Copies of this chain bind each other. A is one copy, B any other.
């Protein structure tokens, strides 16, 4: 009930192999026939088979080695993809109106934590912000953000009234590299108050460090009520489209 309409030959081959792997006809460790062999079976060029196999390898289903050939991968852990959407999109997708409020805003100099996390020297100023994002009247996310003013000096005078800091930063430095971490924390008194929770309630925390050219741009903690928030991982699956 899965594989239908396999338009292009390379997708047909890819899906056929995937079915065999899933159904257990091909078990982990088993050898997959050579590209040339498969090409002849299907009456296609080797390049076509190659593409199917390359994608299966990228998605972790098979392992390929020159001379040794292709084998079904030993399973082990799983890899999933996670989308970290813009808060605004996330909220608006639920139908609720989005708004945000800046709770705290100040420039830190000689602040130990800021210096360490943004890897700046003691003289360099860092902008610290606390922002609360609402879904309608419900607090949805509390954002704690540090911005390296050495790299983005214009942030210091930005009003952040129409556009929130995250979206402003993205517009300013679109393709910086990001690194994420997920964890769980008990809400501090302050955090609980902002999010309308009780102190100690579990928070789902996303941390992000953003850098460009080895220079840290910003570090942000996004805190969500653990009861209501859950992050779904889109599962690697059968190759439907392309």
Residues of A within 8 A of B (CB): 1-2, 21-22, 24, 27-28, 61, 75-86, 89, 170, 173-186, 200-205, 212-214, 224, 226-227, 229-233, 235, 237-238
Shortest CB distance A92–B (Å): 12
- Decide if A82 touches B85 in the complex (CB within 8 Å): no
Please pick, from B1, B183, B201, B235, the residue contacting A179 in the complex, using a CB distance under 8 A.
B235
Chain B residue at minimum C-beta to C-beta distance from A77? B85
Q: A79-B83, A175-B21 are in contact. Are A200 and B186 (CB under 8 A)?
A: yes
- Decide if B183 touches A1 in the complex (CB within 8 Å): no
- Decide if B84 touches A181 in the complex (CB within 8 Å): no
Expressed in whole angstroms, the Cα–Cα distance for A112 and B202 within the complex equals: 27
CB neighbours (8 Å) of A200 from chain B are 186, 200
Expressed in whole angstroms, the Cα–Cα distance for A86 and B74 within the complex equals: 12
Additional A-B contacts beyond A78-B180, A184-B224 (13; CB < 8 A): A21-B174, A21-B175, A24-B173, A27-B174, A75-B175, A76-B170, A77-B83, A80-B84, A80-B178, A180-B233, A183-B231, A184-B226, A186-B226
Shortest CB distance A152–B (Å): 13
- Decide if A230 touches B175 in the complex (CB within 8 Å): no
- Decide if B214 touches A1 in the complex (CB within 8 Å): yes
Q: A82-B233, A174-B24, A230-B181 are in contact. Are A76 and B61 (CB under 8 A)?
A: no
- Decide if A226 touches B61 in the complex (CB within 8 Å): no
* Most chain B Cβ neighbours within 10 Å, of A75, A175, A233, A235: A175
Shortest CB distance A72–B (Å): 8
Expressed in whole angstroms, the Cα–Cα distance for A100 and B232 within the complex equals: 28
Expressed in whole angstroms, the Cα–Cα distance for A90 and B202 within the complex equals: 24
Q: A75-B175, A79-B84, A200-B186 are in contact. Are A181 and B232 (CB under 8 A)?
A: yes
- Decide if B89 touches A231 in the complex (CB within 8 Å): no
CB neighbours (8 Å) of A205 from chain B are 184
- Decide if B235 touches A182 in the complex (CB within 8 Å): no
Expressed in whole angstroms, the Cα–Cα distance for A186 and B41 within the complex equals: 56
